[in-house]
Chains A and B, each alone.
Chain A
Amino acid sequence: MKKIINDPATVVADALRGMAAAHPDLLDVQYDPAVVVRADAPVSRKVAVISGGGSGHEPLHGGFVGRGMLDAACPGAVFTSPTPDQVRAAIARTDGGAGALLIVKNYTGDVLNFETAAELAAVDGVEVRSVVIDDDVAVKDSLYTAGRRGVGGTVLLEKIVGAAAERGVDLDGCEALARKVIGQVRSMGLALSACTVPHAGEPSFTLADDEMELGIGIHGEPGRQRVPVGPASELVPALLDPIVEDLPFAEGDRVLLFTNGMGGTPLIELYLAHGIAERLLAERGIVVERRLVGPYITSLEMQGMSLTLLKLDDELIDLWDAPVHTPALRWGL
């Protein structure tokens, strides 16, 4: 294992110190328990939008803290959900009197810890609602699995709900908007190589030079299918077709296309893939109105990518375009 770290046990705290140093104007970072808070929190009479999850997905979630997006992010250990005391501290620190909305990715640990935190916050007297995002079409949603995972759609959800909260939309409205976005966003990813969790010291799985893992999650967990690697012209439809068919997205639909890197794939390959996805969507008559390309929800140094499609309407476009000022996303400000 070669990594730019000192001690696997302190990676998250050490990285948080660097993040605080890099963005003193945007972030207020607390360490015990670990919470990344927007510098001007609490914002009076604004719904606090809070998320969190295991570390190793940077810039998600801490990189999306700031005006127009998240009020706080709770970073867990690498690939491990945060603990309830972190979430409780985040709620207490950002509560502006309008309640808090927790954005939870659908993983067993995250759901259990946020559920416990919401119970604790209710005792503290803050009105808390939770939404669970499960946009990964690679997992069969059935009684026999933990359900679909929360992946790329999370970034879009945090941006859109964060914009609404910034405009003063109340807790009911923010929750309803979040459920709407979750209902019309779908994603799928692939990995060309595994990643190494610092405290594990070894790759989470091994792939031969000519193999890829299709339907990967964001924790280095193997996907559903191991298949030979083909050219980009085959990889992109292998992700896009299941996404389009799942919702389904139909001719005439307006969409946001998010081409995401898993951490180890360079932007040149992401742009290449994005170009193919745009062409394939055009052939289907699906209208790409907004785009996002880059590594925004990653899996340490994993090589790979994911595609996310969000069905848009005027409301969602307006909220997507609204000003945002965070370490990782900034426009309109």
Chain B
Amino acid sequence: MAAGCTTEGLADALRAAARVISEHRDELIRLDRAIGDGDHGENMNRGFTAMVSKLDTSEPASPAAVLKLAASTLISTVGGAAGPLYGTAFLRAAAAVGDAAELDPPLLAKALQAALEGVVARGKAAVGDKTMVDALTPAVAAAESVAVTGGDVASVLAAAAEAAEQGAESTVPLVARKGRASYLGERSAGHLDPGARSTALLLRTFAGSAR
């Protein structure tokens, strides 16, 4: 990707994300089995695999169209909580992008902010509840601070990925207050949240794809 993130660049980033999710399928299953029901890796892999085949056949014409395609595929193929949550994230990002032909750093930061707001609106989780919000919230803040100081797309995404990874790690000691892990009460502490992990994986992949 050059100065901005183009339609093609965005589609490539999602294809890369599908490869990474596939490579980390078993890890996400293992994390989810510890405090949930062990389906996160399988569900995400099914959804991102379906997304790639839709990208290959439908050739969306704008960044917003790519994001909408991602949203509708994830909503209809992932299931679980992750389907509506990631689907809503991509849908809100698409709305924030509007008809822009490419995403410059401020628009990218705005899209990430919209994605976070969508996840929070749908899932009603806050920072500290041991969910993907713990990874996405610091990622959005980091992306914004780099974007306002004139960073390029690659450095915006690199900052977001770094913050998301730290945010995901921060879920380890937490007691879950949302989702299936919350049924475990104190027994959920000591485990990395699988949703926070998949969010960090996605942002790291997008950052790598932008370099």
Contact = CB atoms under 8 A, between A and B. Distances in A.
B180 A112 contact: no
B123 A112 contact: yes
Contacts of A221: 36-37, 180, 183-184
A77 B42 contact: yes
A42 B43 CA distance: 32
Interface string B121-163: 0110000000000000000000000000000000000000000
A4 interface: no
Contacts of B38: 79, 197, 200, 204, 220
B33 A108 contact: no
A151 to B, nearest CB: 12
Interface in B52-92: 75-85, 87
- Residue of A79, A112, A139, A149 ringed by the most chain B CB atoms within 10 A: A112
| Secondary structure class of chain A's binding surface, majority of residues | loop
A267 to B, nearest CB: 27
B179 A146 contact: yes
A113 B183 contact: no
B83 A83 contact: yes
B211 interface: no
Interface in B19-38: 29, 33, 36-38
Contact of A77 (B33, B75, B79, B87): B79
Contacts of B185: 140, 145, 224
Given A82-B79, A84-B84, A113-B83, A217 B183 contact: yes
Interface string A108-122: 110011011000000
Nearest to A138: B183
**Interface SS of chain B:** helix
B188 to A, nearest CB: 10
B95 to A, nearest CB: 15
Nearest to B129: A144
Contact of A80 (B29, B80, B175): B80
A199 B42 contact: yes
A220 B179 CA distance: 15
Interface in B172-211: 175, 177-180, 182-185, 187
Contacts of A83: 75-79, 83
Given A77-B43, A149-B183, A219 B37 contact: yes
Contacts of B182: 144-146
B33 A80 contact: no
A33 B182 CA distance: 30
Contact of B177 (A109, A144, A197, A200): A144
B117 interface: no
Given A80-B39, A200-B29, A109 B183 contact: no
B2 to A, nearest CB: 36
B43 A222 contact: no
B76 A33 contact: yes
B178 A146 contact: yes
A128 B88 CA distance: 21
B177 A145 contact: yes
Contacts of A149: 183
B180 A107 contact: yes
Contact of B184 (A109, A219, A222): A222
A146 B183 CA distance: 7
B90 to A, nearest CB: 13
A84 B37 contact: no
25 contacts: A77-B39, A77-B43, A80-B42, A80-B80, A83-B75, A83-B76, A83-B79, A84-B84, A85-B75, A107-B180, A108-B81, A108-B178, A109-B79, A109-B81, A109-B83, A113-B79, A146-B180, A146-B182, A146-B183, A197-B39, A199-B29, A199-B42, A217-B183, A221-B36, A224-B183
Interface of A: 33, 54, 76-85, 107-109, 112-113, 115-116, 139-140, 143-146, 149, 197, 199-200, 202, 204-205, 217, 219-224
Q: Which 3 A-B pairs have the closest CB atoms?
A: A145-B182, A112-B84, A109-B80
Given A83-B75, A220-B37, A222-B187, 8 more contacts: A77-B46, A83-B78, A107-B180, A145-B177, A199-B39, A221-B183, A224-B184, A224-B185
Interface of B: 29, 33, 36-39, 42-43, 46, 75-85, 87, 122-123, 175, 177-180, 182-185, 187
